[in-house]
Amino acid sequence: MNDLSDISDPDELSTISPKRLNPKGKYIYSRQKIMVINLYKDILMKSPDIKYEDLVTNLSKALGLGRETISKTIAEYRRTNTVSSPNKKRVKSSLFDKIDDLDRNGLRQKIHSFWLRPQLSEWLQSKGVILDRPFLKHELMAKVREISRNKSYVIDKIAEDAGHTVLRLPPYHCEFNPIELAWAMVKEDDIKCNAYNRHKEPITPAEKLALTLS
């Protein structure tokens, strides 16, 4: 906010050349407003009986500003005896500012609909978890995280429908797989056999396995 105490004497103002028109909607700052007030005082001093409409028209033509801008600047000066620059701080709008309360509530209910406490309890009970007392939501979520997600395969479902039991070995545990143990024994015997009998025709691991299992 600028004080107008340093405004030059209107008698010292020289002839003002025509200004280019200010773009519509563009802010004007305190420096331009001071020019408006200086010229406003000068015209009033030279023509005290001039009509307000004619005064605004003359200022608009001389400075290249709109009539509404001139009127607002003069009104601000009469009210506060000073002029100020506009506040250009822009408030960024968020997503929730662009939607109304009805849409906002609908989105919130859609996002949180599954994680309501009764639905969590029903889901846990469907997984075989016994809930012997009322649980808070964070306690239910802790139990949800404890349940491991087991993968299911279509081939397992087909085998179960046919009356077969499918057992899957854990990965990286060859000690649970008999064929892996057998292959290890066959390879070891094959290496020893080929090392001592290089002059003979070596047998393949498949042939060695057949001899071992026979």
Q: Distance between CA 140 and CA 121 in Å, rounded?
A: 7
Same domain, 127 and 157: no
Same domain, 103 and 130: yes
Q: Kindly provide the b/e burial profile for residues 99-114, where b requires at least 16 CB atoms within 10 angstroms of the residue's own CB.
A: eeeeeeeeeeeeeeee
- Residue 207 lies inside a defined structural domain of this protein: yes
- Give me the long-range contacts of 176-182 (CB less than 8 A, separation at least 24): 182/209, 182/212, 182/213
Same domain, 160 and 192: yes
| Number of domains making up the chain | 3
User: Considering 107, 131, 146, which residue would you say is the last residue of a domain?
Assistant: 146
- For residue 8, what are the domain limits? 4-80
Q: Name the 3-class secondary structure at 2.
A: strand
Q: Which two tokens stand for residue 209?
A: 């396995």
| Burial class of residue 64 in the structure, from the number of CB atoms within 10 Å of its CB (0-12 exposed, 13-18 middle, 19+ buried) | middle
Same domain, 141 and 173: no
The closest of 27, 23, 33, 35 to 73, measured between CA atoms, is: 33
- Residue 120 lies inside a defined structural domain of this protein: yes
The closest of 116, 96, 115 to 106, measured between CA atoms, is: 96
- Residue 88 lies inside a defined structural domain of this protein: no
pLDDT digits (tens), the chain, 214 positions: 444 444 445 454 445 555 566 666 666 767 778 888 888 888 888 888 888 888 888 888 887 777 788 888 888 888 888 777 666 666 666 666 666 776 767 777 766 655 566 777 888 888 888 888 888 877 888 888 887 666 678 888 899 999 998 887 777 777 777 777 788 787 887 777 665 555 556 566 666 666 655 5
